[in-house]
C-alpha cells in the first residue's frame, strides 16, 4: 500500500486528498482557502473527524505546513511522518505540447512549466508554487506532474490546428490544447468499464463553472471544445464560449475597450452571468421556473450549444455509443440534461425522464432501454485519477 498525496494548488487555495493506493481509500481530504488574505480558512476531514479553522495563512508554504500538521496529528492524523508519503501528485493545468503523459518532476520540468506561464497565467504559477513548497516539506517524496492538457495530445492535427499562417504554429505553438483532461480521461475510462468495451465512440460533457466537451474514440481524445485557452466552446458560468472574432474587433475599434478589458469581459463577465446576472445555475433554474425569460433563454442557449457539439462530434467519429455527463452541473442538473437530450432521437438518444430526475452520487444510466445511445451520469474524480497516475509512476 502506498499513500499518495494529491495537491491542486490555486492562486489563493490549496485542495488536497491523501489516498491509499491501490485500494483507492481516501484517508484524509480538505481545502485551504483565502491564502494570502487577512484571514485564511482550513477545512480538514478524516475518518470520523472534520474541522474548519480560521487562521492567518500568508502563503502556500504555511498552508501545506498546516495540512501536514493535521495529517500527522496524534488525535486525528493518518500518518506519523512525512516519509509515510512516498509520492505527491500535482495537478498542472497547462503542459503545452511538451507533456503528453504524467511525469516525475525535476528542474527541467519545472522550467518548462514556468515557460508556459503565458498560456495559463491564472493556473500554472500557483501550480508550480505548490510543487516547490511540497519539495521542501516532503523532500523524500517523488513529485509527479499530471497535466490537464496531456489527455488531449492525441487529437489529430486536422482538429487541433487553426487556419492561420503556419509561422504562428511553427514559432509560437499556437494551436488547440484542450483542458479538463484528467476529468474527461477518468469518466471515459469508467464509461468503457460500464459498457464492457475497449473500442468505443463516446462524448464526455464536463459541466461546472468551467465547461468542456470531448469526443473520445477508442479511449483517446479525438476532439475537444476548449482551445488555446479556457474560454472557447460551451457557454460557462462567467466565460462566453464560442464568439465571432469580429465582435472582439468591434469592441476594441468602435466601442473603445482595450484588449485587456475585452479579455476580462469574456472571461469574467460573460456566459450565464452576462446573460442573467446570476452565475450559479441553481439560481438560474429557479428564476426560469418562476417565468424569468432571460434565465430561460440562457438555459436554452446553453443546451443548444452542447447539442451542436454533440452533433459535430458524432459526425467526426461516424457514430456514438454513449453520452456522458459529469462535474457539478452535469451530475446534478436534470434540467440541463433534459434540455440537451430532448429532440435527439435522430441520433438514437432517448432520455428516461424518471431516472434523469433522480439525485445520486453513483454512476448511472439515464436513457431508456430502447435508446441506441446510452446516456450516463458518471461523477468525476480528478483527485483519484491523479492518484492512479502517480501510483503508476512508482
Binding-site residue positions for Mg(2+): 8, 382
Binding-site residues from annotation for ATP:
15, 206-210, 280-282, 328-332
The answer to whether residue 148 is catalytic is yes
Beta bridge partners of 215: 203, 223
Alpha carbons 221 and 230: distance in angstroms, whole number: 17
Contact 46, 28 (CB under 8 A): yes
DSSP-based three-state secondary structure for 324: strand
H/E stretch holding 43 reads strand 40-46
Query: Alpha carbon 85 to chain centroid distance?
Result: 25
Binding-site residues from annotation for substrate:
91
In DSSP notation, 186-204 reads HHHHHHHHHHT-SS-EEEE
CA nearest 315: which of 217, 168, 172, 207? 217
The residue whose grid cell reads 516547490 is 132
Alpha carbons 371 and 386: distance in angstroms, whole number: 33
Q: Among the options 148, 223, 321, 334, which is catalytic?
A: 148
The reply to whether omega before 22 is within 30° of 0 (cis) is yes
Active site residue ranges: 148
Amino acid at each position: 500500500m502506498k499513500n499518495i498525496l494529491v495537491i491542486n494548488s490555486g492562486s489563493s487555495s490549496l485542495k488536497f486528498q491523501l489516498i491509499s493506493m491501490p485500494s483507492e481509500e481516501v484517508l484524509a481530504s480538505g481545502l485551504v482557502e483565502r491564502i494570502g488574505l487577512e484571514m485564511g480558512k482550513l477545512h480538514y476531514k478524516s475518518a470520523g473527524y472534520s474541522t474548519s479553522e480560521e487562521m492567518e495563512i500568508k502563503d502556500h508554504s504555511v498552508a501545506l505546513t498546516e495540512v501536514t500538521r493535521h495529517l500527522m496529528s496524534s488525535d486525528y492524523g493518518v500518518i506519523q511522518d512525512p516519509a509515510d508519503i512516498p509520492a505527491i501528485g500535482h495537478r498542472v493545468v497547462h503542459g503545452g505540447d511538451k507533456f503528453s503523459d504524467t511525469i516525475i518532476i525535476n528542474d527541467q520540468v519545472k522550467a518548462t512549466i514556468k515557460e508556459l506561464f503565458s498560456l495559463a497565467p491564472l493556473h500554472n504559477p500557483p501550480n508550480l508554487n505548490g510543487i516547490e513548497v511540497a519539495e521542501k516539506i516532503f523532500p523524500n517524496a517523488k513529485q509527479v506532474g499530471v497535466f490537464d492538457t496531456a489527455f488531449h495530445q492525441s487529437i489529430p492535427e486536422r482538429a487541433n490546428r487553426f487556419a492561420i499562417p503556419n509561422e504562428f504554429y511553427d514559432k509560437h505553438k499556437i494551436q488547440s490544447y484542450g483542458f479538463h483532461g484528467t476529468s474527461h480521461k477518468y469518466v471515459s475510462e469508467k464509461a468503457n468499464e460500464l459498457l464492457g468495451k475497449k473500442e468505443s465512440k463516446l462524448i464526455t460533457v464536463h459541466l461546472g463553472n468551467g465547461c468542456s466537451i470531448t469526443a473520445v474514440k477508442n479511449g483517446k481524445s479525438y476532439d475537444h471544445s476548449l482551445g488555446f485557452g479556457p474560454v472557447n466552446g460551451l457557454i460557462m458560468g462567467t466565460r462566453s464560449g464560442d464568439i465571432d472574432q469580429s465582435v472582439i474587433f468591434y469592441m476594441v475599434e468602435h466601442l473603445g475597450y482595450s484588449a485587456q478589458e475585452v479579455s476580462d469581459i469574456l472571461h469574467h463577465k460573460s456566459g450565464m452571468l452576462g446573460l442573467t446576472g446570476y452565475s450559479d445555475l441553481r439560481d438560474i433554474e429557479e428564476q426560469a421556473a418562476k417565468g424569468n425569460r432571460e434565465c430561460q433563454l440562457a438555459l436554452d442557449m446553453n443546451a443548444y450549444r452542447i447539442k451542436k457539439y454533440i452533433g459535430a462530434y458524432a459526425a467526426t467519429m461516424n457514430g456514438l455509443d454513449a453520452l456522458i455527463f459529469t462535474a457539478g452541473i452535469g451530475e446534478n442538473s436534470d434540467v440541463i440534461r433534459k434540455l440537451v437530450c430532448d429532440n435527439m432521437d435522430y441520433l438514437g438518444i432517448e432520455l428516461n425522464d424518471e431516472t434523469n430526475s433522480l439525485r445520486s452520487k453513483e454512476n448511472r444510466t439515464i436513457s431508456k432501454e430502447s435508446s441506441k445511445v446510452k446516456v450516463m451520469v458518471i461523477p468525476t474524480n480528478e483527485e483519484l485519477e491523479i492518484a492512479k497516475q502517480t501510483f503508476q509512476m512508482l
